Chain A
Amino acid sequence: MTAQADIVLSIEHVAVHFGGLIAIFDLNFEVREGEIVGLIGPNGAGKTTAFNVITGFLKPTSGHVRYRATSLSGLKPHEIAKLGLVRTFQRTSVFQNNSVFQNVLIGLHDRGRSTLWDTLLALPRESRSEQELVHDAHEILRLVGLEQRTSELAGTLPYGEQRLLGIALALAAKPSMLLLDEPVSGMNASETARCMKLVERIRGSGVTILLVEHDMPMVMKVSDRVVVLNYGRIIAEGPPAAIQNDPEVIRAYLGQGKKRA
């Protein structure tokens, strides 16, 4: 099924150098429509750097990224988000001092249709637009399962629920492709299971997903395809079952063992 689908995201010869340090050497991979792709690798392999390049937070030293035939070179993060390519963050993934509901409303920003004048003159379009946003916000919170938490401050939520709110925030921006940066880190087993269901459901609604995650059982279970990164290059790529038995991958995670001697 995935073989026939169109390529939505392509990363072409992307390299990132921080001074003398090479964070990403030469990155090439593609994500197809409707796929869930897991991007894994040991700490410092360049996964988050890759995310930052794709979403415009970091300019690559060379190479470029294409999303649905649009080159993302030179685009600012908010412009990329408007194309439907939306990310979550590993840390500080929510607006801590705002209520859960406000968080989602902020995320819904681009769906608002009122202009500055509608707002200043309190024209009917303003209240209509706001009502729609409030409705959408409730819907999104129901989807991620936070509808009981609407009036709580985001910063006071348990960590796992903050992660869910981070996803809700991204969903509010109406993504056609979602980049999740360690969505289940800090979650317990039941929360992780809940989050995996959510990821499946998001994909079910037609959103392509690229996922960075350290929780291997989660990645292996949820991904259609896994890309393994180590020291800024791809060392393996393929379906989860093949990746789990790939000697190169095992070596990257566990070290070389006896062979070294």
Chain B
Amino acid sequence: MKRLLPLFWLLVIATVPLWLRDQYFLHVTITTAIFIIAAMSLNLLLGYTGQLSLGHVAFFGIGAYASALTTLGFNVELPGGFAIVHTPWPAVAGFVIGVIVAGLSGYAIGKLSFKVRGAYFVIVTISFAEVTRLVALNWVELTQGPLALTNIPPYTLWIPGIGEYEFWNKTAYYYLVAVVGLLAYVIIKRLVNSRIGRAMIALKENESLASSVGIDVTRYLVLAAVVSAAMAGAAGSLYAHYVKIIDPDIFLFIYTVTMVIMVITGGKGTLAGPIVGGVIFGFMPVIVRSFAAPAVQWILYGALMIVIVFVLPRGIVPAIERWAANWRRSRGASDAVVLAGPKVREE
């Protein structure tokens, strides 16, 4: 049973384009999946180290812009007669650069958080996102400002047996996003189930106690910030090369809020939480739109969020886990005796 469940989900993910024939719904699935990757990256910071990054969309946007600019090329004049000219690179290089640049900005924010925690960390991250938005809006020479970066080319990959392949149709793009998403999931899963993850959880729970047993608290905070930001950058790049146009609105606060809602309702600090929350709040606007007026849509959206947080304050996934545990106990199964040792590495 335990072994079959991941296989089942893999099968579901792999077959989505086969039973979801509607192109519009496939489009929604792709954008939702991209946002789920971003939410998973936020969860690493919020759920495991306990730091709320309310500017998480900055890393997403930086990844998107860095990737798009690498692919489109740019020509920027600097004071003193210097100029930086960048000729277009392949989109895949853009992806890598996007991840690296986002990761570096995560490093900077992580280092800052050495000094500030809690509410101050939240303020630092909000300001950071706002500053990046203003840069994107006003550095017209580089980013085209409000005119947006357009005609962002799709990824091309060399695939054995097929040769050079351009990701322009939705089904192919879906699989690309799914692969990146799975990779992100595996990275987070390995991290949090290792001693690195335990160090992160320890610093969330009790920083003094963690450092008293020799855990370098700052180091693990910075590590979490870098991995989280790089992953959000990857999602941003996927987004840019999918919608093919990005403007400074990508840095809007509402996108961060969306990610936070996905993580909190799904269950922060759980591996499946951001996915469950992401699926609900990614698809809900589309489903509600089919029967409700625009004003009602947002009321329903807000109401659902409040109901979930009110009824299940720790999120959907922890609640399901608890019900499952109770159900198993009530059946009085002999496997109720859980050995603590092996439990550490499964889950």
In the complex, chain B residues 190-222 whose Cβ is within 8 Å of any chain A Cβ: 190-191, 194-196, 198-199, 201-202, 205-206, 208-217
Please name the residue on chain B nearest to A152 by beta carbon: B340
Q: A133-B195, A169-B213 are in contact. Are A89 and B341 (CB under 8 A)?
A: no
Q: Is B3 an interface residue (CB 8 A)?
A: no
Interface presence of A233 (CB below 8 A): no
**B166-194 with Cβ < 8 A to chain A:** 187, 190-191, 194
State whether A97 and B205 are in contact (beta carbons under 8 Å apart), knowing that A109-B199, A119-B196 are contacts in the complex. Answer: yes
Query: Which residues of chain A come closer than 8 Å to B217, judged between CB atoms?
Result: 78
* Residue-wise interface mask of A (77-100) relative to B, using a CB-CB cutoff of 8 A (1 in contact, 0 not): 110011000111100111111111
- The answer to whether A55 and B212 touch (CB under 8 A), given A99-B340, A150-B340, A151-B338, is yes
Taking A105-B198, A120-B190 as known contacts, 7 extra A-B pairs with beta carbons closer than 8 A to each other, sorted by chain A number, are: A86-B213, A95-B202, A101-B340, A102-B201, A105-B195, A110-B213, A130-B345
What's the minimum C-beta distance from A52 to chain B, rounded to whole angstroms? 10
Name B's interface SS: helix
Q: Is B299 an interface residue (CB 8 A)?
A: no
- Residues in A with CB closer than 8 Å to B194 are 114, 119, 126, 130
From 333 to 347 in chain B, residues with beta carbon under 8 angstroms from any chain A beta carbon are 338-341, 343-345
Q: Which residues of the partner chain A approach B92 to less than 8 Å between Cβ atoms?
A: none
A201 CB-CB contact with B under 8 Å: no
Residue of A nearest to B197 (CB): A119
Interface residues on A, range: 35 or more
Q: Are B205 and A95 in contact (CB under 8 A)?
A: yes
* Per-position 1/0 for B68-80, Cβ under 8 A of A: 0000000000000
B196 proximity list for chain A (CB < 8 A): 116, 119
A77 with B212, Cβ < 8 A, contacts A105-B198, A106-B198 known: yes
4 shortest interchain CB distances as A-B pairs:
A150-B340, A81-B214, A151-B340, A77-B211
Alpha-carbon separation in the docked complex, A81 to B196 (Å): 18
Is A198 an interface residue when CB atoms closer than 8 A count as contact?
Answer: no
Asked if B223 is an interface residue, CB under 8 A from chain A, the answer is: yes
B212 contacts A96, C-beta separation under 8 Å:
no
> Chain A contacts of B198 at CB under 8 A?
102, 105-106, 109
A17–B223 Cα gap in the complex (Å)? Answer: 36
**Judging by beta carbons under 8 Å apart, are A138 and B341 in contact?**
yes
Inter-chain contact A119/B191, CB cutoff 8 Å: yes
Q: Which residues of B contact A234 (CB under 8 A)?
A: none
Also in contact, A89 and B213, with CB within 8 A (given A106-B201, A116-B196):
no
A122 within 8 A of partner (CB): yes
Contact (Cβ within 8 A) A112 B201: no
Is residue A65 within 8 Å, beta carbon to beta carbon, of the partner chain? no
Closest chain-B Cβ to A118's Cβ sits at a distance in Å of: 8
Q: Which residues of B contact A97 (CB under 8 A)?
A: 205
Cα distance A127–B213 in the bound complex, in angstroms: 22
Q: CA–CA, A3 to B236, complex, Å?
A: 67
For this complex, 13 residue pairs linking A to B, each with C-beta atoms less than 8 Å apart, are A57-B208, A78-B214, A100-B340, A101-B340, A101-B343, A102-B198, A102-B201, A106-B201, A106-B210, A119-B195, A130-B344, A151-B343, A169-B213
- A170 touches B (CB below 8 Å): yes
Distance in angstroms from A103 CB to nearest chain B CB is 9
Q: Is the CB of B213 within 8 A of A170?
A: yes
Q: Which of B12-54 contact A (CB under 8 A)?
A: none
B195 near A112: Cβ-Cβ < 8 Å: yes
Residues in B291-347 with C-beta less than 8 Å from chain A: 338-341, 343-345
